[in-house]
Amino acid sequence: MAVHLRKQILTLTEAAASKIRHQLEQSQRTFLRFRVKPRGCSGLMYSFELADEKGKLDEVVEDKGVKILVDSKTMMHVIGTKMHFVNDNVRARFIFENPNVTGLCGCGESFLTTSKEGAANREGAAAKCSYSGSNLGTK
């Protein structure tokens, strides 16, 4: 019998999981909603918010006790991504290690993947970039 292992959509480091668990407890929410949206110089940006309800197109990913909602459009851009949380006393931020990224914006705010949607968003996005001084994934 063949066993097919499914690649985890998103994994968290212990620091990222701890930060998210704390935010969920403080807000009395159940889920972290994780999305990729068409924005920025390279075409795509990470976005997340705390949520109470699962949408009909959301898949629930659970890692280290954190329940994460990922919609079907986001999945194709983030399969295999590892989410880190770094606090270096200058700033605290989430950083994403995404094996699907094929290009990054010079300001570090947006990225490009090989998916058709990511490539299509890149053309109209180049004029929208402005340097914010933050690293990828701090939103």
Residue 133 domain-assigned?
no
Q: Is residue 4 part of a domain?
A: no
Contacts within 8 Å (CB) and 24+ apart, 111-120? 111/40, 111/42, 111/43, 111/44, 111/45, 111/136, 112/42, 112/43, 112/44, 113/44, 113/76, 113/77, 115/76, 115/77, 117/38, 117/73, 117/76, 117/77, 118/43, 118/44, 118/77, 119/43, 120/43
Residue-level pLDDT at 131:
25
Number of domains in the chain: 1
Residue 139 lies in a domain: no
What's the CA gap between 66 and 49, in Å, rounded? 13
CATH number of domain containing 96: 2.60.300.12
Q: Is residue 80 part of a domain?
A: yes
Cα distances from 73 to residues 1, 30, 44, 123, in angstroms, run 32, 22, 12, 19
| Parent domain of 27 | 10-128
- Report if residue 1 sits inside a domain: no
Residue type, 115: S
Domain membership flag for residue 3 = no
pTM > 0.85 = no
Residue 72 lies in a domain: yes
Q: Is residue 135 assigned to a domain?
A: no
The tens digit of pLDDT for each residue in 38-88 reads: 887 778 999 999 999 999 999 999 999 999 999 999 999 999 999 999 998
Using pLDDT thresholds of 50, 70 and 90, give the confidence band for residue 5.
Answer: low
